[in-house]
Structure 1
């Protein structure tokens, strides 16, 4: 999705008119960006800018994040002057900006220009508990599928009279069911009162 230069300018104007940034120099930096159409073409608004190769985190008062951070590969600094010189010298390179303010997740004005951050790791949004649930579900699905496949192949061998393959598959099914029974939690019978 391509965001127009006018939409990006409008978003920055909206942000500056509605919120007070934590660092005054950031206002000048954003005004510079809004005047440079060729620079705005390379600007992308994202969440989690810390993963981008080159980006800025800009926070309004009341936001929990720091006032300003400039990310450039492995370099991280709060120096607005360094960010200004970098952007002035590298106008054609992609620049990712994250605006942080109270209610950012609910803001339609910000979401109109928001793009996916291509640098976020694939598993960034998956919680550890979700990961375990997914792995358990996949394991169960594979187990059920394997057992069903073995039974189907055993039936086919019986239908075709293939006794050698029938014996091999029957042993595999026996081993599989034995291993499965050993991994299942044992349920203790209830004691009678």
Structure 2
């Protein structure tokens, strides 16, 4: 899904007006991107930009690390002028931009432009324990959803005075509750 350039521009304008950066050139570069739609079309906001063929990381003053760094095929460049010229000269190439600032995950403008990094997908790098916990969580949620649905059907059977359906559904609910309890005990 392509992110509209208007959304990217709004975020960049917000960023420049609300965040402080250790290098004065950073707002200039961000404004340049915001005001050049042909370049902005090729900008992708991601995490782990250093893992991309052509990525820039920018940190607000509150973050530790290089204030701005360009990564081209794993090689790092820190000079703001060099970074600006790379953006200008290769404007038709995809540019992956990582912005680190306070409360990023609570910022709707940022979340609206954030894309999955095609070179570093977060879910490809999870440890086995975390994956097992996620799978367990979804199994429990599926069982709970089935139980909730069966309770609604049981209520309907009671309203219709359908004892056979009531007994059948009650047995299914009891099996699912036992299965859920077994899942909880196995995961503990």
Change (3 A) 1:121 1:44: closer
The residue correspondences of 1:70-89 to structure 2 (distance < 5 A) are 70-89=70-89
**How big is the shift at 1:121?**
5.3
The runs of 5 or more residues in structure 1 that have no matched partner are 138-193
Describe the superposition over 1:104-137 as per-residue Cα deviations: whole angstroms up to 9, x where unpaired: 1222120011111000057653126447x59xx9
Contact 1:65–1:100 (8 Å) recurs in 2:
no
Distance 1:10 1:122 in 2: 26
Instruction: Find the counterpart in structure 1 of residue 101 from structure 2.
Output: 101
Distance 1:5 1:123 in 2: 27
Instruction: Find the counterpart in structure 1 of residue 20 from structure 2.
Output: 20
Matched, 1:33 2:28: no
> Across the two proteins, how many residue pairs are aligned to each other?
134
Change (3 A) 1:121 1:109: closer
Distance 2:65 2:121 in 1: 21
Output the TM-score relative to the length of structure 1: 0.63
Describe the superposition over 1:85-105 as per-residue Cα deviations: whole angstroms up to 9, x where unpaired: 111111110001111011112
2:113 alignment partner, SS class: coil
The runs of 5 or more residues in structure 2 that have no matched partner are 137-188
Distance 2:44 2:102 in 1: 20
Instruction: Find the counterpart in structure 2 of residue 58 from structure 1.
Output: 58
Output the TM-score relative to the length of structure 2: 0.65
Contact 1:5–1:40 (8 Å) recurs in 2:
yes
Divergent runs of 4+, >4 A: 121-124
Identify, as 1 or 2, the structure richer in helix: 2
Instruction: Find the counterpart in structure 2 of residue 150 from structure 1.
Output: none
Distance 1:127 1:82 in 2: 38
RMSD: 2.0
